[in-house]
Chain A
Amino acid sequence: MASVWTKTLSLLTGSESSIDYLKMPKRAKASRPLKSLTKRELLQLESEIGRQLFGEIPKGHSREFFHLDDKTWIWHEDFIDVNGKKQTATTKYEITDAGVLKVQEGARYSYLEGQELDNLLVAIQLYYEKVMRKVYHRDPNTGQKLI
């Protein structure tokens, strides 16, 4: 089974070239069905909504926030620091019955608590509501396709 991290990297950076992530996904126009989009492109559409849930993105920063699979969320942010070096941070959140497990680089693990947990849960609900309507055209209450 492919590594979650490998899948995440592939989704974030693309597999064709190292600058593929800089390309905008092909947007679904009103008359164009979503069915022509790949999983990566769908997740990029989701992330366009997800990245806006946490307020303004600082100039020069790039942010992604999306669901990776049926229990995993990814936060990714990168920017160029004052030394001109690219800095990146990727965090994986696993939603489990015991709580939300936060996994960061360097094998740092912790269960979310307090305000951070509250913020993530609110963001997930907002994301769900918006993405179901705007990307998948489904009623968030029933899961059924919107007419």
Chain B
Amino acid sequence: MQKTITNLETGEFIVPETPKNSSEFPIDRVKIGTEFSSGDQLDLHAAGGELMSLEAVRMARAAVESASYGVTQEVPISMKERIQSAQFATAWLDYALNEELKAA
């Protein structure tokens, strides 16, 4: 399935709705319920250069997810499909990159 979306350069661009869905492809590697990895620290831009603790990150994230629950539950199906398509595209890009590195 394909769709046409606006392109800044050409005015029109044909893109796949999603990459091909096959168990042979990394589409199956997309994991449900993405979480921050353990050890993440949002330390780069914390005010005053202070490191932000992992616990603080978790608390902030939990607060956002809680507050956003109602919103995310009301996302239209079409938007959910587009988000899923973006998940697939991202997984595919990472797969392609890692394949290039493995071939090195």
Tally of A-B residue pairs with Cβ under 8 A? 172
Instruction: Give the bracket for the number of chain A residues in contact with chain B.
Output: 35 or more
Identity of the chain A residue whose Cβ is nearest the Cβ of B27 in the assembled complex: A143
Determine if B71 and A113 form an interchain contact, defined as CB atoms under 8 angstroms apart.
yes
Q: Which secondary structure dominates where chain A touches chain B?
A: mixed
Q: Annotate B56-77 by CB proximity to A: 1 below 8 A, 0 otherwise.
A: 1100110111001001100100
Question: For the complex, is A36 an interface residue (Cβ under 8 Å from B)?
Answer: yes
Question: Which of A73, A106, A141 is in CB contact (< 8 Å) with B19?
Answer: A141
Determine if A99 and B103 form an interchain contact, defined as CB atoms under 8 angstroms apart.
no
Contacts of A8 in B (CB 8 A): 44
Instruction: Give the bracket for the number of chain B residues in contact with chain A.
Output: 35 or more
Question: Which of A39, A67, A96 is in CB contact (< 8 Å) with B34?
Answer: A96
Determine if A36 and B104 form an interchain contact, defined as CB atoms under 8 angstroms apart.
yes
Interface residues of A in 54-71 (CB under 8 A from B): 54-55, 67, 69-71
Interface centre among B30, B57, B97 (most CB of A within 10 A): B97
Instruction: Tell me the complex Cα distance, A105–B41, Å.
Output: 11
Instruction: Tell me the complex Cα distance, A143–B89, Å.
Output: 10
Identity of the chain B residue whose Cβ is nearest the Cβ of A72 in the assembled complex: B90
Contacts of A80 in B (CB 8 A): none
The 4 closest A-B pairs by CB, nearest first: A105-B45, A128-B89, A70-B94, A109-B64
Given A71-B87, A100-B83, 19 additional A-B pairs, CB 8 A = A3-B41, A3-B43, A5-B42, A5-B44, A42-B101, A70-B95, A71-B30, A71-B91, A73-B90, A105-B46, A110-B68, A111-B72, A125-B89, A126-B13, A126-B15, A127-B93, A132-B92, A138-B96, A142-B20
Listed A/B pairs (17) with beta-carbon separation below 8 Å: A5-B41, A36-B104, A39-B97, A88-B45, A95-B34, A97-B33, A104-B45, A109-B61, A127-B89, A131-B96, A138-B96, A140-B16, A140-B19, A141-B16, A142-B20, A143-B20, A143-B96
